[in-house]
């Protein structure tokens, strides 16, 4: 699974002019399931997201996690993170999970996040979303949890 974390002061997702998910300070997380991903990669990704120390402590050092600061999580599905741009000027998305599998894994990540963290908001899978954010820092971190080679 691939994700991009953005430390935000606030973020929201709108669909058809309506806000469907919003947080204050915390993490906006763009999430993409790739072919071959399972719940194992999803669990590893979520564990890393929740524990990654990218928020400032009292000394101004990145030493606190989103859980430490009781920040929000805004989870947004984004299959375009799987883009392959090596073959020309038009990206290929063949590495992205099939839509049904992508939805299943995204829903799984959301459900697990809600069990582990008190402030979780979401986008809408496969919708035309407008994502608004105030990036804090800016701090933007890519994460990838690859399936084990079999």
Q: State mean pLDDT over 30-57.
A: 97
- 9 in a structural domain: yes
Longest dimension (CA), the chain: 47
**In the annotation, is 79 catalytic?**
yes
Give SS3 for 25: coil
> Quick one: what percent of the chain has pLDDT higher than 70?
98
- Considering the domain boundaries, does residue 52 fall inside one? yes
Catalytic residue from among 6, 79, 112, 122:
79
What does the alpha-carbon distance between residue 43 and residue 138 come to, in Å, rounded to a whole number? 26
Q: Per-residue pLDDT averaged across 131-146, rounded?
A: 96
Q: Taking all residues of the chain, what is their mean pLDDT, rounded to a whole number?
A: 96
Residue 116 lies in domain: 2-144
| Domain of residue 79, CATH code | 3.50.80.10
What is the average per-residue pLDDT within 16-39? 97
Active-site hit among 19, 80, 94, 130:
80
Q: Distance (Å, rounded) from C-alpha 138 to C-alpha 49? A: 17
Please give the distance of CA 82 from its chain centroid, rounded to a whole number.
13
Active site residue 112: no
Catalytic residue among 6, 18, 38, 78: 78
Q: Is residue 150 part of a domain?
A: no
112 in a structural domain: yes
- Is-catalytic flag, 80? yes
40 within domain boundaries: yes
The domain total for the chain is 1
pTM of the model: 0.95
Domain membership of residue 149 (yes or no) is: no
Residue 149 — very low, low, confident or very high, per pLDDT cuts 50/70/90? low
């Amino acid at each position: 699974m691939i994700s991009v974390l953005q430390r935000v002061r606030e973020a929201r997702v709108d669909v058809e002019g309506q806000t469907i998910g919003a947080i204050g300070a915390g993490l906006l997380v763009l999430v993409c399931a790739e072919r071959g991903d399972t719940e194992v990669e999803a669990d590893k990704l979520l564990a890393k997201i929740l524990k990654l120390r990218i928020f400032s402590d009292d000394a101004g050092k990145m030493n606190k996690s989103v859980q430490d600061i009781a920040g929000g999580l805004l989870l947004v599905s984004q299959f375009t993170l799987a883009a392959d741009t090596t073959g020309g000027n038009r990206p290929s998305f063949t590495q992205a999970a099939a839509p049904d599998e992508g939805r299943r894994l995204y829903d799984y990540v959301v459900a697990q996040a809600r069990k582990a963290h008190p402030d979780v908001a979401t986008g809408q899978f496969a919708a035309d979303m407008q994502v608004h954010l105030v990036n804090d820092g800016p701090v933007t971190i890519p994460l990838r949890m690859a399936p084990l080679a079999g």
